Structure 1
Amino acid sequence: MSAWEDNEEIKIFREYLRIPSVHPNIDYKPCVDFLRRQATELGLDFKVECPVTEKKPVVILTWVGTDPNLPSIVLNSHMDVVPVYENLWTHKPFAADIDDQGRIYARGSQDMKSIGTQYLGALRYFKRNKIQFKRTIHCTFVPEEEIGGVDGMREFVHTKAFKSLNIGFSLDEGIPSTTNDFLVFYAERSIWQVQFIITGNAGHGSMLLKGTVGEKLTNLINKIMEFRQAEVLRMESQNFYIGDVTTSNITIINGGVQSNVIPSELKMMVDFRLALDIDHTEFENRLKRWCEESGEGISFVWDQHQPKIAPTKTDDSNIYWVAFKKSIDQLGLGIKLEVFPGGTDSRYLRGVGIPAIGFSPINNSPMLLHDNDEFLQADIYLKGIEIYKTIIPNIANLD
């Protein structure tokens, strides 16, 4: 038996991890029931909102502040987790096994059920010690983040229920750090997922026809790869982090009807993540030029086409950032301020004008998001609760 198994917070964390809220076709009811019990035990108001469908609920646990007219603080996390290749795990991915070194193995242990229950662990401490805050605190547990938040936070931020929360600032997930420093994210790149449609002359596979889709596809791929390599060199030569450059990756190519028939159409999906310094109009024009220069009959449609969203300010003009940084300094923690490389629900909050910081209190750990044998050390988990015990009061007591 691990020395950590009897710890109250570890027990709660492992209970949450054992709920298989895994894509596709998630049943969120066990998560809702778990969170309802947590709200009851903590004396928090409990509410469920369904911005799109009852099958995809947003759960809100609320602690009303002494001055509820002040803008509130939201501690956000998502309930869903990505699929697993169970045969590649050494532990059952939803058993939440803990070994003698304190490693808790489960899908969601890093991404990001840990953060949701760490919030609750900090609130449990405050409640038991009769500590009160000026600002209202909302813990939101949202669905569908792992597939873009389309039926979750993206729609929720436009509802009356969301606006009634009067949110001034949000904390959300970040990424584990492999060093002693912690990663803090203030912005995200814009996701542009583009489907190129390439049309050309069809015919017998034994011919050397001109204007085939293969020729045009090759021309287009060469242009994308040339741009991609330039960004690789820019990142390496200037010591940039991945979030500082624009990435492009071909993710799907499909088409054709038979091995000896030259197809009249091929489709190719490319995932672009646009850096903050990219002019969106100019980049869209670049895509159009690539199509024109690669051959006639090439067009594209959007799978995702996110607008440019202003980053959260990390200077004295943002009182929430000042309070967050004060907490980091009080704890003596080292941080690295970066642009998030992927996508989180913070982009939807920033999109409606709410400053948001992405921060996972996980350091000195392998980055195992979406990986096999995802785990989190018990001591790192408990240290995260201690970190939130400093961050939350500093932010929630702002005048």
Structure 2
Amino acid sequence: MDRNPLDLAGIDDLLSDEEKAIRDSTRAFLDKRVEPHVADWFERGEVDDIRGLARELGALGLLGMHLEGYGCAGLSSVDYGLACLELEATDSGIRSLVSVQGSLAMFAIHRWGSEEHKQEWLPRMAAGEAIGCFGLTEPDHGSDPGSMRTRARRDGDDWVLDGAKMWITNGSIADVAVVWAQTDEGIRGFVVPTDTPGFSAPLIKHKMSLRASVTSELVLDGVRLPAEAVFPEVRGLKGPLSCLTEARYGIVWGSLGAARSSLETARRYAVERHQFGRPLAGFQLTQQKLADMALELVKGQLLALHLGRRKDAGTITPTQVSLGKLNNIRESLEICRTARTILGANGISLEYPVIRHMNNLESVLTYEGTVEMHTLVVGEALTGVSAFR
């Protein structure tokens, strides 16, 4: 072969040496630190020394890596995307740890917080010394955050928060939570230290997806905060939705990592596994599956890179991010499912990463906007007619 079989289109030629170096250093770290353990973590539903892992990710510059100042690396959107791809090629749960920290909690504070919020939290979060979570989704309100029931009321100079959030990555290990709540002034965001009385974060168990990730409920029972805990300017859904757009961009890249890992596993298996006297790769149906998977991976990578360049140029739109998330997660999940068929019965074993990636992507398909929501975003862009209600 004259090319890397996972880069038939030569996409590497479109990357700078710096971009490749960031990608390769991320890959080297994951191969050494996470790959030997991640299947066991997934099976047990527990990541060993997750705080230590967060500090190592911080030392590598991966936490809030695309943010400027306050100890953040200040790298490009493409750099961040390539890192997300490598993280999710190892496991979606590990990528979720990084993207919730950087693109939700840190981004919210960086974009909407006061200077005091930024100085207090961002340097420690960038170093992995403090872990953040992002409380928007509620038990009864996922795709419709505007109907949230969590309430913040003024009491003298303080704010008092009551309510609950659901499916919150990092919640049970977080030192700080960005929580969005209804107020008499509209939806507002609050920086909530998790040791505040009345705050608790019960762990969500019995998951069959994202098992190498901490997922929690947030319970706010009379959580009293000082006046300065609120984001000073932003009101309404503009604040949380801007954060979701930021996180969705990482998924555009990250989901392709799970797809690439599954494709490479299936390709190697097809070459090495023999049936009926020859390798599986010698059968036309197997080659059709591999070719179709490779084609969708290439298209997804080109779309991600195009959106990354637009983001770095400041010209990307939320609709374009929805387009990328809708396509890439949907096609990545289909790649994982097809790869599973090539492995046959071995495809359901954690000795191979495919079933783990497949299960994880079932969560990624839903969070940061379901297929249905992103379909309607694209549909409205095409027609000018909103079909959300």
Q: Give the TM bin, normalised by the shorter chain.
A: under 0.3
State the structure with bigger RCO (CA 8 A, min sep 6), 1 or 2.
Answer: 1
State which structure, 1 or 2, has the greater radius of gyration over its C-alpha atoms. Answer: 1
